[in-house]
Amino acid sequence: MSLARLQKETLTNLPFYEERVDLACAFRWTARLNMHEAVANHFSLAVNDAGTQFLMNPNQVHFSRIKASDLLMIDANDPETLSGPNAPDPTAWGLHGAIHRNVRHARCVMHVHSIHATVLASLADSTLPPIDQNSAMFFNRHVVDAHYGGLAFEEEGERCSQLLVDPKVKVMVMGNHGVLVIGDTVADAFNRMFYFERAAETYIKALWTGRPLRTLSDAIAEKAASEMDDYPGQAERHLSELKAILDEQEPVYRN
């Protein structure tokens, strides 16, 4: 089915339709990569200038089934959010609500318990060292939360949000928990989440060998990270290609 035909057939009055499509694609591809966890984990995307109104996945729906129309519209400043008939998961509200209230530059927030990032989060030192080009992307750009306090209800969400106030920090390794990634758009956050998981996998498997690591110098790691920060269009192209595949194989995600 051509993209033009898809666009014609998916005319909708849904607010923020294209943003919904991008997010639905990210959910489905995350499931294909086996980076989801049952019906847990959550993605959100701010849709107003203040960042306090955001789209998020419905409670307890598998990532592989999420469609554009399924996404909830949440107001981070509405204390009655959990009382409504379509209330989000309480931990999603606690974590994502706090971040969207307190961290304006966190436009898109993705939290998963992906295997290798969670292994990293389980180590006594959960810092990702720059041992290859992918891991160098995150040099001085991730923070480790070493104070896990239980499920991410509102108090824990508020605490975690304070670790992301530095705009340079785009990834939070949630010690004993998983990983949380922020970005300017769905494409930006998804691309970063994908590469962090790949980098964590390389690091964990390098540790398996028991042999010394070839770690980049701080100067080269920062140089590589800065170059990747400014690399043109990769994240957008990555998501565009994933949507093209889904358009061919399961276009229902756009509904």
Give the pLDDT confidence of 100-133 residue by residue, as tens digits: 999 999 999 999 999 999 999 999 999 999 999 9
Pairing state between β 171-174 and 178-183: antiparallel
Q: Over 90: is that where the pLDDT of 151 sits?
A: no
* 66-69-70-72 Cα dihedral, nearest 10 degrees: 130
Rounded Cα distance between 42 and 36, Å, is 9
Which domains, ranges and CATH numbers included, belong to the chain? 3-254 (3.40.225.10)
Mean pLDDT of the residues in the chain: 94
pLDDT at 85: 82
Q: Over 50: is that where the pLDDT of 217 sits?
A: yes
Residue range 168-187: average pLDDT? 97
Q: Over 70: is that where the pLDDT of 4 sits?
A: no
> What's the pLDDT tens digit per position in 73-91?
999 999 899 988 889 999 9
Q: Over 60: is that where the pLDDT of 8 sits?
A: no
Residue range 140-152: average pLDDT? 92
Confidence of residue 11 (pLDDT cuts 50, 70, 90): low
Interior/surface letters 162-173, b for 16+ CB within 10 angstroms, e for the rest: ebbeeeebbbbb
Task: Kindly report the pTM of this predicted structure.
Answer: 0.93
**CB neighbour list of residue 101: distance below 8 Å, 6 or more residues apart:** 52, 76, 77, 161
